[in-house]
Amino acid sequence: MTPILNTPAWKHAERNAHGLRDVHLRELFEHDPQRFQRLSVRWNDWLLDLSKQRIAPATLPILAGLWDTADVPGWIARMRAGEKINHTEDRAVLHTALREQTPRPEVATVLAKMRDFCAAIHSGQWRGATGETITDVVNIGIGGSDLGPRMATRALAAQCLPQMKVHYVANVDGADLATTLAGLAPQRTLFVIASKTFTTQETMQNAASARAWLTAALGEAAVSRHFVAVSTALDKVAAFGIDLANAFGFWDWVGGRFSLWSAIGLPLALAIGFDKFEALLAGARAMDEHFFSAPPQENLPALLALVDLWNADFFGLQTCAVLPYSQSLELLPRYLQQLEMESLGKHIDRDGKLVGCPTLPILWGEAGTNGQHAFYQLLHQGGRPLACEFIACKEADFPVPGHHEKLLANCFAQSAALMKGKTEAEALAELEGAVPPGPSFLAPYKIFPGNQPSTTLLLPRLDPYNLGALVALYEHKVFTLGVLWHINAFDQWGVEYGKQIAGTLLPMIEGKTAIGGVDSSTAGLIAACKA
Ligand code: F6P
């Protein structure tokens, strides 16, 4: 297939970008008072403001040409038909089937089992080995078996059931498990062992240690009342000693980082209740329907993807800050790091060739306003062009009087400042107009180059429905970028090499084999630990 870089659509976009390269965002706003109206898109009660991106109104139809050239609609059809578009792992990609209105029978069966289990826990019908009700759930998983439900549980804090505390343990650092278990009562604690493969070292170690903690207090027989599992590998679940009646399955056509909607969402459903979990699925489904049907210029995931490509490939931006002005969304950047970087942090395309252009920028971020008092200095005056993605909600999820207006004011102020900057003349005028006037030598420090592009996504509120739609929005953005760059967004070979080497180092660190066959730095570090 012709690389997208060699297509007329790409060349057209390149020419458009060239024409905009020396134009400051401030000028674009000054020349077009209707810019916001022209470059913001609505979906239901959502607003996506792209007007602070370095695009012209003509850019979006040009970028839509890339959507057609790469045949995104054709790839959507292939995905939905269950074709094995994850070709390197020979797997279909059907996470959207988990949230269909009428799910396929195997999905419906697991959802019904989750509903019953949540009801049994919440009603107190399911009790621990000593007859006490479950008050604490500890999800043990990592990557896609942790980040989605963890982020969503945090995001929906306002919706969580007061009688249920859900904790997450991921890191193989014993500190994660030990600090979580401190203060928990074994007789009231349920462990959810979540692992698609049920082989992941971190999860298996944490699960074994959790089991030892529980059985030390309640005995071996207590395991069946205090451990449930979520996995595609039910044979391994049984081998671990978890009764399959207490196991929730999913399938190889659900990628780990796309698995929130499967039984991997169980800890979230336990935290918020199954009805609200279903509302999350409904929100994702609404976004699916939008993505599958809307033309690219009105299609939110498509627009996010096209703008990311524009910034990375035509403006050379190497990093993007995700800045949710919502404390409840503080884990969103971390969640998106896996979703986007594990999916698109690749330079080899579907044909085994170099992609030939930069792919995904480095993604990072922090909840506003906290980030303002940490790293925004660099965004404003670090001399490094980068993109920002602001996310805000019209309504507060915790409406404490006097707070939300300040939060929104800060959010909109930051994107405005990044866009327009402050000129030398403005800095000088500000100093001169101050009472008493400020010294003019300060002027260079008060200049802001501006011209930092950003997107703002304004949601009505943070509830299960809108969160579901938000996560699905990013999933579809990732899918679209994968198609545009001709990358398989669903494998993750890049995480294997380190695991492989760790496997050879472990016996050396454990003292089971002599240190050898490694570079001098690695050997030196191991020796220093053992000395
Ligand atoms: O980090 C690699 C990875 O395979 C992720 O893609 C996955 O989400 C994570 O490990 C956990 O895998 P599992 O659910 O099989 O334990």
Residue 42, SS3? strand
What is the model's pLDDT at position 251? 97
**pLDDT 10s digits, 22-79:** 999 999 999 999 999 999 999 999 999 999 999 999 999 999 999 999 999 999 999 9
Q: For residue 74, how far is its CA from the centre of ligand 1 (angstroms)?
A: 29
Q: Which two tokens stand for residue 118?
A: 């949540």
Q: pLDDT-based confidence at 258, cuts 50/70/90?
A: very high
DSSP code per residue over 62-77: HHHHHHHHTTHHHHHH
Q: What is the pLDDT of residues 110-137, one digit of tens each?
A: 999 999 999 999 999 999 999 999 999 9
Shortest-distance Cα residue to atom 9 of ligand 1: 143
Phi, psi of 37 (to 5 degrees): -60, -40
CA 502: distance to chain centroid? Answer: 26
Ligand 1 centroid distance, CA of 280 (Å):
23
Residue 221: the pLDDT is 95
What is the reported pLDDT for 2? Answer: 83
Q: What is the pLDDT of residues 413-452, one digit of tens each?
A: 999 999 999 999 999 999 999 999 999 999 999 999 999 9
Q: How far is the CA of 491 from the centre of ligand 1 (A)?
A: 11
In order, the DSSP letters of 183-230 are T--GGGEEEEEE-SSS--HHHHHHHHHHHHHHHHHH-GGGHHHHEEEE
Name the band, by pLDDT with cuts 50, 70 and 90, for residue 3. Answer: confident
Q: Is 519 exposed, middle or buried (0-12, 13-18, 19+ CB in 10 A)?
A: exposed
The average pLDDT across 493-506 equals: 96
Distance in angstroms (rounded) separating the CA atoms of residues 230 and 232: 7
Q: Which of 31, 87, 499, 530 is catalytic?
A: 499
Question: Active-site residue 512, yes or no?
Answer: no
Kindly report whether the peptide bond that precedes residue 8 is cis, defined as omega within 30 degrees of 0: no
Gyration radius of the chain's alpha carbons: 25
Report the pLDDT value the prediction gives residue 46, as an integer from 0 to 100: 98
Nearest to 168 by CA among 143, 198, 188: 143
Q: What is the pLDDT of residues 467-480, one digit of tens each?
A: 999 999 999 999 99
Burial of 303 (0-12, 13-18, 19+ CB in 10 A): buried
pLDDT category at 1 given cuts 50, 70, 90 is confident
* Residue 234 predicted with pLDDT over 80: yes
Chain centroid offset of residue 169 CA: 18
**According to the model, what pLDDT value does residue 396 have?**
98
Query: Whole-angstrom Cα distance, residue 172 to residue 165?
Result: 22
User: Which one of 340, 342, 366, 475 is the catalytic residue?
Assistant: 342
Instruction: Specify the residue for token string 């462990």.
Output: 191
Residue 332 confidence (pLDDT) above 80? yes
Q: For ligand 1, atom 10, name the residue with the nearest CA.
A: 143
Does 342 participate in catalysis according to the annotation? yes
pTM: predicted TM-score of the whole model, two decimal places: 0.98
Strand-pair partners of 458 = 47, 392
DSSP SS3 for 122:
helix
∠ CA(91), CA(97), CA(102), 5° rounding? 150
**Predicted local distance difference test score (pLDDT) of residue 505:** 97
Q: Which amino acid residue places its CA nearest to atom 16 of ligand 1?
A: 195
Residue 351: pLDDT band (50, 70, 90) is: very high
Quick: pLDDT tens for 502-521: 999 999 999 999 999 999 99
Distances (CA, A) of 98 to 260, 282, 367, 473: 9, 11, 30, 15
Calculate the CA dihedral of residues 418, 314, 303, 281 and round it to 10 degrees.
-90
The chain-wide mean pLDDT, for the chain, equals 97
Residue 384: is its pLDDT beyond 90? yes
- What pLDDT is attached to residue 523? 97
pLDDT value, residue 77: 98
Tokens of 24: 């400051």
CA distances from 375 to 269, 366, 381 (A): 35, 9, 10
**Burial label, 296 (beta-carbon count in 10 A; 0-12, 13-18, 19+):** buried
373 is annotated as an active-site residue: yes
Which of 495, 496, 499, 500 to mutate to test ligand 1, by most ligand atoms within 8 A of the CB atom? 495
Residue 294: pLDDT band with limits 50, 70, 90: very high
